[in-house]
Homo-oligomer: A and B are copies of this chain.
Amino acid sequence: MDKKILNKFKAVLKKEQLKLTKQRHAVLANMIKSKGHRECDEIYDQLKSNGENVSRATVYRTVAILEKYGFLRKLELGDGRARYEYKLGLDHHDHMVCIECGQIIEFVNSEIELLQDKICIDMNFKLVRHIHQLFGVCEICQN
């Protein structure tokens, strides 16, 4: 794992009086390696098949820590399962979701981001995070 990331993780853990365990390391490493929009069970299965010993409960717990400290972003796509994507140091984007095939497409629009910030300033709302998801039919599924 990249040393900078690992050091940041160590720093966060120390600050919060948490310990760096094999399991936590494995979950973070796995998220960094296979970028995507991933369910906990998927992460769990993949670690298992790599022979790494991590329980489902620990995956859930770790992913929550990683989200809290900005390593991961949690996505709720409305199908009852949370997804996580690695985000540390990457540019912000939002998501389009195809309601036919489930494909997730990323989009970026800085104008929208600016307008969003402005709304929050105007309404004296301290923005922490946001969700902007477009649901519809992707190019492929339209044919």
Q: Mark A66-102, 1 if CB is under 8 A from B, else 0.
A: 0000000010101000000000000000001011000
Shortest C-beta distance, A111 to chain B (Å), equals: 6
Distance of A109 Cα from B116 Cα, bound (Å):
9
Q: What bracket does the count of chain A residues touching chain B fall in?
A: 20 to 34
Q: Given A111-B115, A115-B109, A123-B139, do A131 and B128 touch, yes or no (CB 8 Å)? A: no
Distance of A142 Cα from B115 Cα, bound (Å):
22
**Is A3 part of the contact surface with B, judged by Cβ < 8 Å?**
no
Q: Are B109 and A126 in contact (CB under 8 A)?
A: no
Q: Nearest CB to that of A77 among chain B residues? A: B76
Shortest C-beta distance, A68 to chain B (Å), equals: 12
**Is A127 part of the contact surface with B, judged by Cβ < 8 Å?**
yes
Main SS class of interface, A? strand
**Is A57 part of the contact surface with B, judged by Cβ < 8 Å?**
no
Shortest C-beta distance, A62 to chain B (Å), equals: 19
**Is A132 part of the contact surface with B, judged by Cβ < 8 Å?**
yes
Q: Mark A117-143, 1 if CB is under 8 A from B, else 0.
A: 001100111111111111111110010
Cross-interface CB contact of A126 among B115, B116, B127, B142, cutoff 8 Å: B142
Shortest C-beta distance, A99 to chain B (Å), equals: 6
Distance of A134 Cα from B132 Cα, bound (Å):
9
Distance of A39 Cα from B80 Cα, bound (Å):
15
